[in-house]
Structure 1
């Protein structure tokens, strides 16, 4: 598969999206630029030599935080006998730095005029995504002797981009330039530093204290090496799996995000380019996926989400006491409450998942102190499930937005407008209750009962939670079961009518444990049957449903993150073969994306396309897609914490070969796991 010509480099809170020349020319259809804290700080960054644009010979996206572009004047074909080479090297690490090197290959000296056109629209990321730029403040440019300052101000909201060069330059409001004389075989170099500033009330730079790896390449490289060294080592005969594993570790490092004012602690941001910020659901699910490999992300994620847990009733933000946030933004539209993400709480699943992650983290880490520290927040989350989420009064979690202008209609993970439907394709009224969220609530109560009994010293509360969980499971298996299809409905409407389509959500029910044992086999057969399973993975909506579309965002695409949890659930119910089938499909797909699974890809049958078809606007890298191969590794090896030890029970897909996972961290210290897959007789015959 060909690479996109959009080159992306990132480091936590800062990222750059450019063309393969290194140029940035933002338009509504080309969302390129230098972004930080939900603001575009550069919308134009175009290099010319003697008034001419440059053409790419090649580029290297060397690490997640740096890239190098090799350019020449004229057309980039093999007929070129270029007398000049231009190399652009750039890195992000709290700021943005670009080094330009020009080499003269001619036998004669040459005089050159270099120009960098520069501009910033200071667009809010929401404005970029919606292709609507409506600035209500003042954009300005100030030329100083040794720098160019671009800025935007609207009341106390102020953003600035400051550009300086290591070589004296001629600055003007539209950019800067150099006059360069090069003798034969001589080279010229200039380093350009771009600093971004986010000024809030009182004139304080909000970026102070934000985690930064530093701007020097050595510091960035050292940070990445330490990150990889601390993770378990994976040795495998399956070369594509080894490539994918390393790619996942590198992308997880890149996606570490530091929320403002929280002391530099990091959690996984959701994904590039649209979601480089804190998401409750996405961060929690990513942490669950990567627990055996990078457990430190879970502790900081839990603490940060607990610190921002809802405390009041706020219809604009869909906030309730005890509710875990959905999304936090720092741009202009959030600052002026033109959208509610400051933070926004319109997620129906993050709250029970918060409890699930805390329990799972303790099982791995033995961190009893954190469980005790977050007792009040867990109790508040459980109260939200019982008292505030049950909008109909029948014991289920429901959702309906209270902010009709900018709130999310669908507040489950399938949050697109048309993702929930009846079998005839019609959309149900609100409020809605989706099946997987009831599974999360069941799991949260079972897990909270353990925490209450073992850590909070409250056995009566534990007994009550267990009774409530058992009652929920019994009621759910009656109300959600679609008798004529032998699967669970996607959702219920407020009258109790089933949204009776066959969907991937039934796989979530397995990993939550809410499925009755005598029905689990039917669910497993659906998940790997031809309507849901494409050969690459489980589709979000089954082929044959009215709204099925193989490239419909939540109506037929394949989401790697979801497949990893489905495989985990299958394995937990004893369906190791089915789990291996899904793991094999997703890991095979990763090979076509150079080990970096996108947010979603098409649900076309594998025998039709022969390769996975990427969804056109998928985020990449994306946190829970990055975590998917790690959870699949855990599932294939059967890694589970058990009575203070790590249990290992491998069941690898055919042809996977030998896998070693060394130095798996946990309450047991560090231990190793080994597995060998069966031979693929078909491959041998070929």
Structure 2
């Protein structure tokens, strides 16, 4: 295969998305769903329509405005100069209003005119479908149109697992092997708009589907801040998260957040856990649903083909085998993750502290015992005392932490680390999980707490001995240990996840903080994944120089928890500096170029947006800026770090258990906690 014919992953950065999980529409900035790239209407993991292109009298309209108008809604305004009256002013307008609900997309096409006399034209929508799997689209592989079937009320596409029905009241329908065209002849009188429309309903055999509950599982707080970027970011982020809410067929009454659109529109253990964890100050219902959903498919046996082990929390769920580059092939239920199990325990502990009902916590204790057992009995494959991973199948993920690309774990000189690999942040999660589990067991009067505190203390001692390195800028934590137990010497963002976990002492946390905000790591738009001093650094390298929103936010929360307010502020302001460049929808990741190097952060052209843990990062900034921590009596404590990263801040609608709170913090760090003035939505 030549370079000219090599399949290329489609780019996303310039496309607009409208979604209500598990349905999504990806279009160009003019609102058109063209027949190329990622464009399409998707349901679950199938592209049910690969084209939905509007023309008037055979001509493409000219867009003047387009964008989201609310959760699951979109509108494009286009001018129709081909049927317009005389003069320079555009006097014939088409508004394309799109609404996405789970399993259905509807469009209204409203034509209005400001001409002196009526105008006439033929409005058409050309539809096509390839019924391609999302992964096929992601790999840029060629697809072919599926021939439609004309029905009594529209047109249908179908295969063994998918049925797609289009209805178009009043339309003339022409269909052939390549697609179907819906047509309406309209005559528009000034002041009397004419509206036509169509809709598509889709059914796809899938493991995950949309939740039935209409409202989100969290509060929607009122936020006021001196830095006005923060309220805008919170508003947009929570709206995006609402569209990512899903449930699984094996836990249909529970809700979790899909990892991200378009590629990860399903349950991911690590991603869904982190998103729920960052949202805890807005309520525990999402955490409960996420914990229960993952517990329903917790590992029960040893199966090398799926990486399942007793007590292990899954990595991802798909409706069929997932094939990728380099011979990668993942089964529909895949457990190839080294960190999700410890993070599940951390989420349970944190949800308990934030007021999750005792009965709900106790109902998850068997899963807790199993998860702890995995950490002790299976997490350390090579017996060196650290949780590690290695793909034994030859077709699974070669890296199984959150940096899971093939070149993410490398030495300063660019060499790739050889597995089994023990990541630094994975040890921090395990330590935090063990200590948190011990506290939880004590609180519930259950045995075993001493064992887990001793286990955590031993891990902490081993970590201090093995993971610390020094260079000309001082001490830092290695990204990982390789198969020989050697510390991989890259300066990387992973060490930011250690802060606030209890794995480091205060002097060590200060050393890490110093490295995170240095010029080689902090771009001014957030935390780079890899230092610019590494040979492998590249500002658009997926895990080797880009900024990941959630990665920065986790470091911000950890820094604030460690009392390092100045450093937390540096990274928090970086995210706020980046947010307006992405219309306050912070994507999965973006370029590591520094402020002043170009008009803004470079878009990573294949980044998912919205992405669950990226959107949840807005709440992480609130948490850090207010120094939020639940109190043992069910109250809320606020100790804002100084200097403040956002000036004065007022948040009404925070939650601990069944109680709602308002926190008002001044720019100098004084804070007052009081009952919420108005119960927040949600």
Q: What TM-score do the two structures reach when normalised by structure 1?
A: 0.89
Match of 1:295 in 2: 284
Helix, strand or coil at the partner of 1:369: helix
Distance 1:488 1:162, change over 3 A: same
Distance 1:418 1:163, change over 3 A: same
Match of 1:464 in 2: 451
Is it true that 1:172 corresponds to 2:175 in the alignment?
A: yes
Q: CA deviation at 1:351?
A: 0.5
**Mean alpha-carbon deviation: is it higher for 168-177 or for 474-483?**
168-177
Match of 1:262 in 2: 251
Match of 2:92 in 1: 84
Match of 1:98 among 90, 95, 107: 107
**Mean alpha-carbon deviation: is it higher for 524-533 or for 441-450?**
524-533
Match of 1:425 among 414, 421, 426: 414
Match of 2:274 among 255, 265, 285: 285
Is it true that 1:163 corresponds to 2:166 in the alignment?
A: yes
Q: Distance in 2 between the 1:181 and 1:607 partners?
A: 51
Helix, strand or coil at the partner of 2:354: helix
Q: CA deviation at 1:104?
A: 4.5
Match of 2:650 in 1: 660
Q: CA deviation at 1:651?
A: 2.1
Alignment of 1:339-378 (within 5 A): 339-378=329-368
Match of 2:140 in 1: 131
Alignment of 1:275-674 (within 5 A): 275-330=264-319, 339-405=329-395, 407-455=396-444, 457-458=446-447, 461-484=448-471, 485-609=474-598, 611-644=600-633, 645-654=635-644, 656-667=646-657, 669-674=659-664
Q: How many residues align?
A: 647
**Mean alpha-carbon deviation: is it higher for 375-384 or for 605-614?**
605-614
Match of 1:43 in 2: 50
Helix, strand or coil at the partner of 1:565: helix
Instruction: Say whether the 8 Å CA contact 2:496–2:555 is kept in structure 1.
Output: yes
Q: Which runs of 5+ in 1 are unaligned?
A: 201-205, 214-222, 680-686
Match of 1:141 among 148, 156, 161: 148
Distance 1:402 1:192, change over 3 A: same
Helix, strand or coil at the partner of 1:585: helix
Helix, strand or coil at the partner of 1:511: coil
Q: Deviations over 1:430-469 (max 9, x none)?
A: 21111100111111111111122222521xx110111110
Q: Distance in 2 between the 1:620 and 1:490 partners?
A: 27
Helix, strand or coil at the partner of 1:273: coil
Match of 2:122 in 1: 113
Q: Distance in 1 between the 2:511 and 2:648 partners?
A: 31
Q: Distance in 1 between the 2:82 and 2:403 partners?
A: 45
Q: Deviations over 1:605-633 (max 9, x none)?
A: 22434632222221111111111121121
CA RMSD of aligned residues (A): 2.6
Q: CA deviation at 1:474?
A: 0.3
Distance 1:410 1:212, change over 3 A: same
Q: Distance in 1 between the 2:119 and 2:83 partners?
A: 21
More helix by share: 1
Q: Distance in 2 between the 1:612 and 1:338 partners?
A: 31
Q: Distance in 2 between the 1:612 and 1:179 partners?
A: 44
Helix, strand or coil at the partner of 1:663: strand
Q: Distance in 1 between the 2:13 and 2:531 partners?
A: 30
Q: Deviations over 1:365-404 (max 9, x none)?
A: 1422222111111111111112222111112111111332
**Mean alpha-carbon deviation: is it higher for 390-399 or for 258-267?**
258-267
Q: Distance in 2 between the 1:60 and 1:384 partners?
A: 46
Distance 1:529 1:193, change over 3 A: same
Helix, strand or coil at the partner of 1:251: helix
Q: CA deviation at 1:133?
A: 4.3
Helix, strand or coil at the partner of 1:118: strand
Instruction: Say whether the 8 Å CA contact 2:321–2:331 is kept in structure 1.
Output: no
Q: Deviations over 1:219-272 (max 9, x none)?
A: xxxx56x878x3332222332211111112211111212223532532111112
Distance 1:524 1:321, change over 3 A: same
Helix, strand or coil at the partner of 1:619: coil
Instruction: Say whether the 8 Å CA contact 1:7–1:18 is kept in structure 2.
Output: yes
Q: CA deviation at 1:187?
A: 3.4
Instruction: Say whether the 8 Å CA contact 1:119–1:150 is kept in structure 2.
Output: no
Distance 1:80 1:151, change over 3 A: farther
Match of 1:211 in 2: 211
**Mean alpha-carbon deviation: is it higher for 34-43 or for 448-457?**
448-457
Q: CA deviation at 1:490?
A: 0.7
Match of 1:26 in 2: 35
Q: CA deviation at 1:340?
A: 2.8
Match of 1:194 in 2: 200
Q: What TM-score do the two structures reach when normalised by structure 2?
A: 0.89
Distance 1:340 1:332, change over 3 A: closer
Q: Distance in 2 between the 1:98 and 1:306 partners?
A: 39
Q: CA deviation at 1:496?
A: 0.7
Q: Distance in 2 between the 1:471 and 1:4 partners?
A: 46
Helix, strand or coil at the partner of 2:607: coil
Q: Which runs of 5+ in 2 are unaligned?
A: 1-11, 670-682
Q: Distance in 2 between the 1:609 and 1:58 partners?
A: 26
Is it true that 1:64 corresponds to 2:71 in the alignment?
A: yes
